[in-house]
Amino acid sequence: MSLLVQIIGHLSNVLYIVGASFEKMIWLRSTLILAALLELYYSFNITDEPLWTDIIWSVIFVGTNLWWISVLYYEKLTLNLGEREKKMLELTFSKMNPIHFKKLVKLGTIRTVPENTCLIKENTHINELMLITKGLIKITRNDKILAYVKDGRFVGEMSFMSGATTTANCDTLEETEMIVWDKTLLTDFLKKNENIKKELNDVFSEDLIKKLVADN
């Protein structure tokens, strides 16, 4: 067994470890494919007789990952975001994978509500998560104005995350357009999509920071 074959064998396993550390799926799968190709070379040359079991499974592994890479690129090519979605992605979801963002948006419903509509009452449970896409919301508690919420900001996200009752009243000050997610549907969706759940939690955190900065 030559030194080159040994080095390639070790390098293949190093790449498997490195690939598993990537969060971006395209980098993860590309690195694993390279590792499998090196493993193929190793399996052909490590002994006088090729290790056919390892070779066959490496080929299947490469083929499977190539398929999923093609799916990822197809999703990117067919993303087709509208003007409203582009605005939402820029204002609120800039840290989210655009494909994940598209899936999340498709789960919601666009709703337009008139001026002076009560969206949320204090000390109640809500069944929806709301994101303002165009309009202005007043947040109050005990008749005291706490904040104003406008384009790109969430309403009801704290109650959604904690499951607790709401802590304030939310009323529209003008005709307001929003995207609304049903709590049960969104919760089930996030249970099946852990990566999107993590990204959405990061979005919530960023949204909260922006609200705190705006209040000051």
Domain of 31 in residue numbering reads as 3-77
pLDDT at 214: 64
61 and 34 part of one domain = yes
Verify that 164 and 109 share a domain, yes or no.
Answer: yes
Structure tokens at 176: 């307001």
The verdict on 140 and 176 lying in the same domain is yes
Spatial contact of 102 and 143, defined as CB atoms under 8 Å apart: no
Measure the CA–CA gap between 171 and 119, rounded to whole angstroms.
6
Q: Are residues 112 and 195 in the same domain?
A: yes
What is the pLDDT at residue 77?
64
Q: Strand 154-155: give its sheet, edge to edge.
A: 109-113, 176-182, 128-134, 154-155
In this structure, the answer to whether residues 73 and 107 fall within a common structural domain is no
Question: Taking Cα atoms as reference points, which of 130, 93, 90 lies closest to residue 206?
Answer: 93
Q: Tens-digit pLDDT profile for the chain (216 aa)? A: 578 888 888 898 898 888 888 878 888 989 999 999 999 998 888 888 888 888 899 999 999 999 988 887 776 765 777 788 888 888 899 888 888 898 999 999 999 999 999 999 999 988 899 999 999 999 999 889 988 889 989 988 888 878 888 889 999 999 999 999 999 999 999 999 999 999 999 998 888 887 776 665
> Which of 27, 45, 77 delimits the end of a domain?
77
pTM: 0.63
Residue 216 pLDDT:
58
How many Cα atoms are found within 13 Å in the side-chain-facing hemisphere of 154?
Answer: 21
Could you tell me if 106 and 156 are in contact, meaning their C-beta atoms sit under 8 angstroms apart? no
Domain boundary among 58, 77, 96: 77
Is 97 found in the same domain as 68? no
Q: Find all residues with CB under 8 Å of 190, minimum gap 6, and list them.
A: 196, 197, 200
Secondary structure letter of residue 170 according to DSSP: E
The verdict on 102 and 172 lying in the same domain is yes
Number of domains in the chain: 2
Query: Do 110 and 179 form a contact (C-beta atoms < 8 A)?
Result: yes
* Co-location of 131 and 104 in the same domain: yes
Q: What's the CA gap between 147 and 192, in Å, rounded?
A: 34
Residue 116: per-residue pLDDT: 93
